[in-house]
């Protein structure tokens, strides 16, 4: 809308579409008592433990506590961009009330913006690529719009198609899916770790080479299509969304 750049398809790699619930290298896990604990999965956090269990990393525990108390403060919200992606499943009311970014663009608030849905549903194709061993995006299923069950840190993941976001079609994702335009795929390995050959075969050749030889242009960017009034996000361009990446292919020029 608004006469901005016409985005035909959006390809995202390791995008934090549903946010993140932990700092990179620390993964929320559910303990035997059902309470969430935070365990180091490596990556320089020090001490730590592996996914099989063991002592909880003191670094992760302290960092998680600090994030939980400060992430929605005015100072952090205005000065730390990563805070816009933090989403504590145990405190969703605080997230919805105080996070100015993600609840809005995901149409999670009570008052929905119909323009977001219209613009995203207008894509010819939306490709969501998840990294199978991602410990930067927690949970990694956020790259597929998956998220924890309400109130559970590190517990069961609720797939997109079982969420109200999909069944009530807040963003147009169901509309895309029903016409075969929503694609979810995996890239083996850690966050943003892929070879040039993998990218060529699984992204460029698969989605960006048109049969008629029309020239497509790509823009490297964040992990979401623009769904604001200006176009598909930020006046037809794509904005940064944390550590993920996205490619928007526009009409031939």
- What confidence tens digit (pLDDT) does each residue in 82-130 have? 667 889 888 889 889 988 899 999 999 999 999 999 999 999 999 999 9
Q: What is the mean pLDDT of residues 141-166?
A: 92
Strand positions, DSSP E, 3-158: 7-13, 26-30, 36-40, 125-131, 147-148, 157-158
Q: Distance between CA 64 and CA 137 in Å, rounded?
A: 15
Query: Is residue 150 a contact partner of residue 94, using CB atoms and an 8 Å limit?
Result: no
| Cβ 187 vs Cβ 13: under 8 Å | yes
Instruction: Tell me the average pLDDT of the chain.
Output: 73
Query: Would the pLDDT of 53 be above 90?
Result: no
Closest Cα to residue 8, out of 135, 95, 125? 125
Lowest mean pLDDT among 70-79, 104-113, 122-131, 170-179: 70-79
Whole-number pLDDT of residue 199: 97
pLDDT for the residue 49 = 38
Rounded (5°) CA angle 58-59-65:
90
Report whether pLDDT(203) > 50.
Answer: yes
Q: CA end-to-end span of the chain, whole Å?
A: 19
Confidence (pLDDT) at 61: 66
211 vs 107 pLDDT, higher one:
107
More confident residue, 10 or 57: 10
pLDDT of 196 reads 97
User: So what's the pLDDT on residue 39?
Assistant: 38
- Domains of the chain are 7-21+92-250 (3.40.50.1820)
The whole-model pTM stands at: 0.71
Residues sharing a CB contact under 8 Å with residue 123, sequence separation 6 or more, in sequence order: 7, 8, 9, 10, 176, 181, 225, 232
Distance CA 197, CA 145 (A): 27
Question: Residue 188: phi, psi to the nearest 5?
Answer: -65, 140
DSSP three-state, residue 154: coil
């Amino acid at each position: 809308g608004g006469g901005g750049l016409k985005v035909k398809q959006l390809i995202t790699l390791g995008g934090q579409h549903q946010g993140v619930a932990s700092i990179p290298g620390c993964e929320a896990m559910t303990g035997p008592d059902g309470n969430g604990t935070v365990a180091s999965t490596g990556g320089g956090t020090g001490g730590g433990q592996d996914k099989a269990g063991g002592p909880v990393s003191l670094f992760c525990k302290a960092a998680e506590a600090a994030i939980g108390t400060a992430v929605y403060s005015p100072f952090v919200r205005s000065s730390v961009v990563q805070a816009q992606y933090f989403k504590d499943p145990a405190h969703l009311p605080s997230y919805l009330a105080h996070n100015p970014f993600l609840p809005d663009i995901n149409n999670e608030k009570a008052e929905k913006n119909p323009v977001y849905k219209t613009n995203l549903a207008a894509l010819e194709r939306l490709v969501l690529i998840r990294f199978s061993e991602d410990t930067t995006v927690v949970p990694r299923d956020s790259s597929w719009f998956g998220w924890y069950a309400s109130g559970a840190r590190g517990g069961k993941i609720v797939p997109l198609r079982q969420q109200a976001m999909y069944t009530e079609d807040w963003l147009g994702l169901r509309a895309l899916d029903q016409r075969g335009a929503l694609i979810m795929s995996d890239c083996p390995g850690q966050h943003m770790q892929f070879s040039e050959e993998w990218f060529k075969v699984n992204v460029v050749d698969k989605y960006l080479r048109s049969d008629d030889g029309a020239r497509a242009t790509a823009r490297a960017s964040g992990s979401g299509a623009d769904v604001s009034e200006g176009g598909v996000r930020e006046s037809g361009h794509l904005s940064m969304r944390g550590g993920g990446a996205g490619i928007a292919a526009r009409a031939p020029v």
